[in-house]
Structure 1
C-alpha cells in the first residue's frame, strides 16, 4: 500500500472545513488512505509568535472573502460564522476519542461539526453543542461526554499537537505526503499531481 496522507486540521479553520470535504475523495482516486489529525492552531500561533487571522491587518478581511470564493469554486456551502475564531478543544477531543473506535464515524462527526460552524453558524466551542451534534449521528452522548472531560483525552490532544509542531505543522489544513509538506487548501492540485506523477 502507498503511504497514507497525513491531514492536520483545526475545527476553527475555514480552509480546514473545505479540505475536510474533499481530501478523502482525492486520496481515494489515487489509492491512498488519509490519517486525520486534529490540532489546535493556538499552539501553532504561539510557537510562531503569530495571531489569529481576524487580528491580522489587511489579510484578515481578505481571507474571509477568499474562503467564500474558494467554497463557491469547490461547490461547497459556506456562511461566515458570527463568532470567529473559536476554541475547539471539545470538538478535537471528541474526534480523537471517536477516531480510536470508529474512523468512519469520526470523520462523519468532523464534517458535521465543520458544517454546523461554517454553514449553519452554530458555535461549536461548547461541549454541549458538540455532544448534541454527535448524538444526532447516533453517538452515545453520555459516553462521549465522560470521555472528553477526562485528563487522559486532554493529554492525548496535547501530545497530538506537540507531534504536529515537531513535524513542522503550522496551519490548517496541512498535509504531509511521503514526507513532503503542503499547507493550504489551494495546494490540493499540487497534491493531486504528486499522487498521480510522483515527486516534482
Structure 2
C-alpha cells in the first residue's frame, strides 16, 4: 500500500483546514499517512513573526478566514492561543505550557497509531470556535474519548516520557526540513514535498499516478 508523510502543527490554522480532506483521502483510498508532529515556527524560531513584514499577519488572518469559508468549515482563532504571545511586542516567551503539552500528546498518539485521528479531533476543538478555555476542564478528554484514548493516561505518559517525546519532535523537525520545507502542513511523497493545505490535490494526483486506488466499499 502506498504511504506518504505529513508534518503538522497544532498552532497552524492551515493544518486544521487540511484535516477533513486528509481524513477523507485516507478513508476512501488505499493509502496510509505517517503523521509527524512538529512545533510551530513561533516556538522553534521566536523572532520569526517580529521580523516579518507587517502585511504578513493581516494577510494570514484574511486568508485563513476566506479559506475556511470556501471549505465550509467553522473557524476562529483558539482561545487561548496554543502559543503564548506578548501581542504588544510580538514576541514569544520561552515558557510555552500549552503547545508543548499538545505536541507531546500528539507525538504519543502518533506512536500509538492514532496520530491523524488525534490531530483532527484536537484541532477541531481548538479552531472550530465552539469552545473557550479548551485547556481546562474535560474539553480535551471529551474530544479524544471517541477515539478510544484516555487523556489522563496519556498525560501521565507525557509526564513520564516528556524528554523522549520532545526529542522525537525535534527529530520530526529535522525530517521535515529534509523533506523539502519548514512549514506546515507539509506532505511528502517519494522525495517530493507538497507544502500547504492547497497542495493536497496535487499530492492526490501524484498518488494516483503511482497507482493509488479507491478503497473497496464493504
Provide TM-score, normalisation by structure 2.
0.73
For residues 137-179 of structure 1, the C-alpha deviation after alignment (integer angstroms, 9 at most, x for no partner) is 5422332112112222222222222322333331111111221
Q: Equivalents in 2 of 1:182, 1:133: separation in Å? A: 29
- 1:1-200 superposed matches below 5 A: 1-2=1-2, 4-27=3-26, 29-42=28-41, 46=45, 50-51=48-49, 56-84=53-81, 86=83, 88-103=99-114, 106-119=115-128, 120-122=130-132, 130=140, 133-135=143-145, 138-149=148-159, 150=161, 151-197=163-209
Structure ranking higher in helix proportion: 1
Equivalent residues, number: 193
For 1:124 and 1:65, locate their aligned partners in 2 and report how far apart those are by CA, in whole Å.
24
The separation in 2 between residues aligned to 1:96 and 1:127, in whole angstroms, is 22
Between the aligned partners of 1:121 and 1:52, the Cα distance in structure 2 is 29
Where in structure 1 are there 5+ consecutive unaligned residues? none
Q: For the residues of structure 1 that align with 2:29 and 2:148, how far apart are their CA atoms?
A: 31
CA-to-partner distance for each residue in 1:13-47, whole Å, 9 max, x for gaps? 00000112211323555532111111112378639
Aligned-partner Cα distance in 2 for 1:127–1:5: 35
> With structure 1 as the length reference, what TM-score do the two structures score?
0.79
Name the SS of the counterpart of 1:33 in structure 2.
strand
Residue 175 and residue 122 in structure 1: after superposition, are their counterparts in 2 closer, same or farther (change >3 A)?
A: farther
CA contact (8 A) 2:5 2:36 kept: yes
Distance 1:89 1:17, change over 3 A: same
RMSD value, Cα: 3.1
Instruction: Measure, in 2, the Cα distance between the counterparts of 1:70 and 1:107.
Output: 21
User: Which 10-residue stretch deviates more, 26-35 or 182-191?
Assistant: 26-35
8 A contact 1:113–1:124 mirrored in 2: no
Q: Distance in 1 between matches of 2:174 and 2:135?
A: 21
Larger Rg: 2
